[in-house]
Structure 1
Amino acid sequence: MIVVPEEFTRCTVEREGEPGAAWLAGLPGIVEEVLGRWDHVPDGAVTHGGVGIVLPVRRRGDGAERASVLKVSFPHPGNVHEPDAFAVWGGRGAVQLHARDDGHFAMLLERARTSTLAEVGDADEVAEVAGRLSRRLAVPAPRDHPQLPCLSGQAGAWEDQLREDATELVHTMSPSTVDAAVATVRELGREQAELLVHGDLHARNILRAEREPWLAVDPKGCVGDPAYDAGTLLTSRTPALLDAPDPGKAAHRILDIFGEAAELDRVRVQRWAQLRFVQAAFWGRRHGFRVARGGPGLDVITQFADGLAELLARRA
């Protein structure tokens, strides 16, 4: 019987309420059932991310050379297409998918190391590694991709939310900065490339590995513009940017290095990043952030997001 970490239990119940508590009660049984069917046994302690647990496992009777991990996620629309993305990539720049049970939101995956790209102190290396992986993961979407979420399909909702937030929320961004984000949605968001992209490519979702130096995990599996993930990377670097002597210069350098490594148009990268910072500034005011749910810490981050969105709009 597995031991589910207390922090994961608490966060899941806080976020999902009774459905989360019911899922947690059945989680040990799910793990036991899928491991028995796939003929694997536990090989370490349970760890977790935001929405799922990860258990080191190995095939019954095999040694460490056949090591894998079992990932079981809370059933949520945002988790549906993770195995689809892994299946398309086939280990190219991401961990390999060995088996899947979509009904239980369970996957048997290649085991990578526990250290992430976020632990690397060199900001240039972080941006370059993420950019190289973005280029490798951006492959033609499968022909039956209508089952995959298309970023272009979200453009209308993005524009509506931007206008609603700009009207209802107190913020320090100029009208031209919000207008620049809306223009990006209209000009870049409504028609996008038919490419499979990660959709959440930040440094914590890139792990050290044996087969390749770095491998991506936790994809959303979206169809759209690879430059979208530049905004994901940059917003995730906010804590480091806050400590930088010149945050604006540091942000531009991250985008320059990422764009070059990913072989993407620099202006396109900049515009997506600007949009994502405007969205983040509004999201934080409505919902808080993982690193700051409220209080002075949240104020610092939202005001920083306002300022960086302004700066990126001027350069773009």
Structure 2
Amino acid sequence: MTEPQLLVPPTLGVVASIGDLAEGRAWLDSLPGLITELREAWSLRLGAPWTGGSCSWVAPAELPDGRAAVLKISWPHPEMMGEAAALRVWQGHGVVTLHAHDGVRHAMLLERVDPGTTLGDRDWLPAEERLLVAARLLARLWSAPVGDASGFDLLSHVTARWAGLVEQRMERLRPGFDPGLVAHGIRLLRELPTTALRRVLVHGDINPGNILAGQREPWLVIDPKPMYGDPGYDPWKLVEQIDDPFRHPNPAAVLRRRFAIFGEVTGEDPARLAAWATARRVEDSLWWVSRGNQPSHRAMSEAAILASIAGL
């Protein structure tokens, strides 16, 4: 294995534009030194980093005993802080194994998944078959006993903060969205987490690109942004991204079937899953406008379809 380990993919430059500009640039400047320190501390041989990530430097590694691994060094931000703790909770059941963690350098040594193709890459398989894979994985993650959840963000706190931001953005940006539909989204962001029948460790960012084909298990989940709360939060990005349901001739029928699949596998109420999808689509729409983009009225029409499925 060659060792061009000091290469920093250009996509990582995005961290310099997120949050505090000076902090982002300082982290990028420190990254070559962090890579060297971790390579030496864990006696690693490193390959060229994978490109495409915007908040983490990730590269193939070889352990001293010859085993394949992955070195991941993250730009420190709130969403990544619970990743190692979540992997410890799940203990490799349906997820990558955590070999080592350096909390000071925000680095992890992880199991390397081979061949590592994503669930999204399997587009020759029917969408519902791929959703079944994802639903079964989620059911396993949600069943893990958490013990002390104090080290994880509470989903209710996160979505309450989002609700406040949606209100502020709606008033400040005046995007022309249906105020009643936005009000539904705000209410759901505040109420859904508090009415959950159970609370679990949710992945927080599970999508077809974060489910990889492996050998130890057929599929393994990566890159959690964990929170503790209502499991109904998790499925939406899978439902939305396995293929675009809104491009089907009858999107409402497709969406009902997809929510039903998750309901059948996990025991969650499909209408509640649709309610979560409505809330998240509304929040996404206001976030999009807040980034200087033109309002997406298509996205809000999709939120209206989701709201009708949820019975709102």
Do Structure 1 and Structure 2 share a fold, with TM-score over 0.5? yes
User: Could you give the per-residue CA deviations for residues 132-153 of structure 1, whole angstroms, max 9, x where no partner exists?
Assistant: 1111111355332112101022
Q: For 1:74-129, what per-residue CA distance to the aligned partner results, in whole angstroms no more than 9, with x for missing partners?
A: 11121110000000000011100010001111001010133211212132233222
Aligned to 1:225: 230
Q: Which residue of 2 aligns with 1:307?
A: 301
Q: Secondary structure at the match of 1:145?
A: coil
Tell me which of 162, 182, 187 is aligned to 2:191.
187
Note the aligned Cα RMSD (angstroms): 2.3
* Counterpart mapping for 1:1-316 below 5 A: 2-15=5-18, 17-42=21-46, 44-48=47-51, 49-60=53-64, 62-63=65-66, 66-112=67-113, 113-121=115-123, 122-139=126-143, 142-171=146-175, 173-192=177-196, 193-236=198-241, 240-241=244-245, 243-287=247-291, 294=293, 302-316=296-310
Checking the alignment, whether the CA contact within 8 Å between 1:227 and 1:269 is kept in structure 2 is yes
Residues 280 and 76 of structure 1, relative CA distance in 2, 3 Å threshold: same
Deviations 1:48-95 (A, max 9, x none): 4221021111112x34xx211111111112111000000000001110
Q: Would the aligned equivalents of 1:53 and 1:71 in 2 still touch at CA under 8 Å?
A: yes
Name the CA distance, whole Å, in 1 between partners of 2:25 and 2:179.
43
State the secondary structure of the residue aligned to 2:18: helix
The gaps in structure 2 that reach 5 residues or longer are none
Q: Given the two structures, how large is their TM-score scaled by the length of structure 2?
A: 0.87
In structure 2, the partner of 1:291 is: none
TM-score by length of 1: 0.86
Name the SS of the counterpart of 1:270 in structure 2: helix
- SS of residue in 2 equivalent to 1:207: strand
Indicate the larger mover: 123-132 or 5-14. 5-14
Q: 2: CA distance between counterparts of 1:95 and 1:51?
A: 19
Q: 1: CA distance between counterparts of 2:96 and 2:212?
A: 9
Q: Which runs of 5+ in 1 are unaligned?
A: 289-293
1:5 is displaced (CA, Å) by 4.2
The DSSP-based 3-state class of the residue aligned with 1:70 is: strand
Counterpart CA distance in 1 for 2:12 and 2:163 is 35
Once the two structures are superposed, what CA deviation does each residue of 1:199-258 show, in whole Å capped at 9, x if it has no partner? Answer: 111111111111111111111121011110122334545x73454344443333332223
Inter-partner Cα distance in structure 2 for 1:273 and 1:120: 24
SS of structure 1 residue aligned to 2:283: helix
- Counting aligned pairs with the same residue, the percent is 35
Contact map agreement 1:173 1:310 (CA 8 A) in 2: no
Provide the C-alpha distance between the structure 2 equivalents of 1:205 and 1:174, rounded to a whole number of angstroms: 33
Q: Which has the higher helix share?
A: 1
Q: Structure 1 172/130 Cα, relative in aligned 2: closer, same or farther at 3 Å?
A: farther
Alpha-carbon distance in 2 for matches of 1:209, 1:100? 22
- In 2 relative to 1, CA 14–187 (structure 1 residues): closer, same or farther, beyond 3 Å? closer
- The answer (yes or no) to whether the contact 1:72–1:106 under 8 Å persists in 2 is yes
Question: Aligned residue pairs: how many?
Answer: 301
Deviation, structure 1 residue 13: 2.8
